[in-house]
Amino acid sequence: MSAFTTRPEILGNFGVVASTHWIATAVGMSILEKGGNAFDAAVATGFVLQVVEPNLNGPGGDMPAVLYNAARNQVEVICGQGPAPAGATIEHYRSEGLDLIPGDGLLATVIPGAFDGWMLMLRNYGSMHLSDVLEPAIYYAERGHPVLPRVADTIADMAEFFKREWPTSYKTWLPTGNAPVGNQNIRNPALARTWKKIIDEAGIKSDREEQIELARAAFYKGFVAEEIDRFLQTTEVMDGSGNRHKGVLTGDDMANWQATVESPASYQYQGWQVSKTAAWGQGPVLLQSLAILDGIDIGSMDPCGADFVHHVVETMKLSYADREVYYGDPDHTDVPLEHLLSKRYNAQRRALLSHSADQTLRPGDIPGFETVRQQTLAMLADMGVSTESVYEPTMAHLSDKRGDTVHIDVIDKHGNMVAVTPSGGWLQSSPTIEALGFCLNSRAQMYWLTPGLPTSLHPGKRPRTTLTPTIAIHEDGAAMAFGTPGGDQQDQWQLAFFLRHVHHCTNLQQVIDQPLFHTTHFPSSFYPRSQQPGHIMAERNFGSAVLADLEARGHQVTVADEWTIGRLTATRREPDGLLRAAATPRLMQAYAAGR
């Protein structure tokens, strides 16, 4: 008898879509039904998520995508992650009295990359016109949608602050003076007008690619950029530092940047080629973890047992320690990724694993990188250790509701695949630009204000983002697209999912339903850059025996309620063309669809 799952694993051969909101999933599926491919569907889904989860992503945010183009049999990465503006220098931020970049307000803004990333996907890989993929999002922005209780609560929590400090946000999100309640219909007419104007400027008589190029110009060189520039030139707002600051982003910064297509970082594990972004994102930590675990019989362990959790956590501690020291924008810093993924190096790292929980941060020793290792560890030591908010915080000093991210996976009947993790532009982290209906991102909080490090603030450098979608292709022709929101936890939850799926269970839904865990042992990527050495969080449904075993090994265990950790979604294509999809029941909003 098959194991009980919270919902069925979706099966079919026409197409599958999974995302973190049921409306967005339905829209993606409708695009496939209209003859669009996986890339068209992902774009339409992404724009709808900006409307229905505005506390988790928006047009002013960012989006990395890993995709598989079936016609070319090629995996590629779209980098829709904007870099630091020209005026974002360490000297300027230090002159503002800052030691860390706040996680909110206007100083935390980098060039918004999401729109151009989506347009690049649509132009290079899609088949539909701009108006086709924007129409569903315009519908929900203009006519409204039943607001998620979490979104309504976030707006309510921020209401007084908005009224006092960010009046444009107050006008946008509380137009009647009252915060919405869960499932109430809410609208964003200004955002609908923005998208309609972009379509108008793209022209209805232009060919498809010309339309997309005109839309990119409207956003980055036209009326959108002009409105953003005007807002930033005249606006000074309160942020988490306790002071008011102006941003440094300008229209010129936007006009001189475009999203790019790149090669992925990859690792071969148990017949699977696993592909992630390069080290401007945290994605290679999953690859490093697989390289360490490649020499351990993880398949013999109970996937919900203490041995499994312990080995995954201890491996991730080592991988994330390397992230802290060596990762950064490869266009601006030398990242020794080949060395970090080498067999010899990972044999050395594997030898550090023991039966007991490590309480220290142990990046590897890499020849030629001794100085950066020493400088990074010295900086972290000077910071001390805080046990305050260690999750992805957006205005956590004002609201108990912390921001996060969204995720989309799509596979079409041709075998095209997309995994994309949009984020940024959270309504609670930056003041809304009233005329446009959206706010800017706060991704600059991921830079250090200490010079000389791979992740030090520098104009033109991409922040080391936590956004990390995954595509994995097996040597037998099976292929997967998967991911999750969750900041620093994204690759931890994905690693547990992937190992369980590869070694223990092919049913995607069954794997997603299994209890989850993660560690906050290493410094957070988000303000105030906290850490909790030796700490793990695990869902209660692991059972008391497993949790007690982990504590006996030295882990400081925080027990979370059942069904409260992670927001995984996944899709898979079998060699014979069978498609599978699944989405987490946690938070009761993610959904998979297909036929």
- pLDDT tens, 235-279? 999 999 999 999 999 999 999 999 999 999 999 999 999 999 999
DSSP assignments along 69-116, one per residue: ETTTTEEEEEEE-----TT--HHHHHHTT-SS--SSSSTT-----HHH
pLDDT at 477: 97
- pLDDT tens, 287-319? 999 999 999 999 999 999 999 999 999 999 999
Measured distance CA(466)–CA(459) in Å, rounded: 20
Measure the N-to-C terminal CA separation of the chain; round to a whole number of Å.
24
Measured distance CA(547)–CA(544) in Å, rounded: 5
Q: Compute φ and ψ for 324, nearest 5 degrees.
A: -60, -35
| Residues with Cβ within 8 Å of residue 210, at least 6 apart in sequence | 202, 203
Measured distance CA(371)–CA(454) in Å, rounded: 12
- pLDDT tens, 484-523? 999 999 999 999 999 999 999 999 999 999 999 999 999 9
Q: What is the mean pLDDT of residues 187-194?
A: 98
pLDDT surpassing 70 at residue 401: no
| Residues with Cβ within 8 Å of residue 269, at least 6 apart in sequence | 290, 291, 294, 502
pLDDT surpassing 70 at residue 397: no
pLDDT at 399: 38
pLDDT at 383: 80
For the chain, how long is the longest CA-to-CA vector?
A: 69
Q: Compute φ and ψ for 237, nearest 5 degrees.
A: -130, 160
pLDDT surpassing 60 at residue 391: no
Q: Compute φ and ψ for 423, nearest 5 degrees.
A: -160, -175
The mean predicted confidence, pLDDT, of the chain is 95
pLDDT at 203: 87
Q: What is the mean pLDDT of residues 72-90?
A: 98
Could you give the 3-state DSSP secondary structure of residue 410?
Answer: strand
The CATH code of the domain at 262-393+469-594 is: 3.60.20.40
Q: What is the mean pLDDT of residues 552-573?
A: 97
Contact 489, 312 (CB under 8 A): no
- pLDDT tens, 343-377? 999 999 999 999 999 999 999 999 999 999 999 99
| Residues with Cβ within 8 Å of residue 371, at least 6 apart in sequence | none
Tracing tokens 């990333």 back to the chain, one arrives at: 117
pLDDT at 2: 65
Q: What is the mean pLDDT of residues 417-430?
A: 97
Query: CA torsion, points 555, 543, 514, 2, in degrees to nearest 10?
Result: 150
The pTM for the full model equals 0.96
Q: What is the mean pLDDT of residues 543-570?
A: 97
pLDDT at 403: 57
pLDDT surpassing 60 at residue 392: no
pLDDT surpassing 50 at residue 396: no
Of the candidates 351, 411, 353, 462, which has an alpha carbon nearest to the alpha carbon of residue 82? 462
Contact 514, 568 (CB under 8 A): no
Q: What is the mean pLDDT of residues 527-544?
A: 95
Q: What is the mean pLDDT of residues 61-82?
A: 98
Query: CA torsion, points 552, 556, 558, 562, in degrees to nearest 10?
Result: -40
Q: What is the mean pLDDT of residues 138-145?
A: 98
Paired with 537 in beta bridges are: 518, 558
pLDDT surpassing 60 at residue 400: no
Q: Which of 356-365, 389-398, 405-414 has the lowest mean pLDDT?
A: 389-398
Measured distance CA(456)–CA(447) in Å, rounded: 5
Q: Domain boundaries in the chain? A: 24-259+425-446, 262-393+469-594
What is the number of helices (H) and of strands (E) in the chain?
19, 21
Q: What is the mean pLDDT of residues 416-425?
A: 98
Q: What is the mean pLDDT of residues 20-27?
A: 98
pLDDT surpassing 60 at residue 169: yes
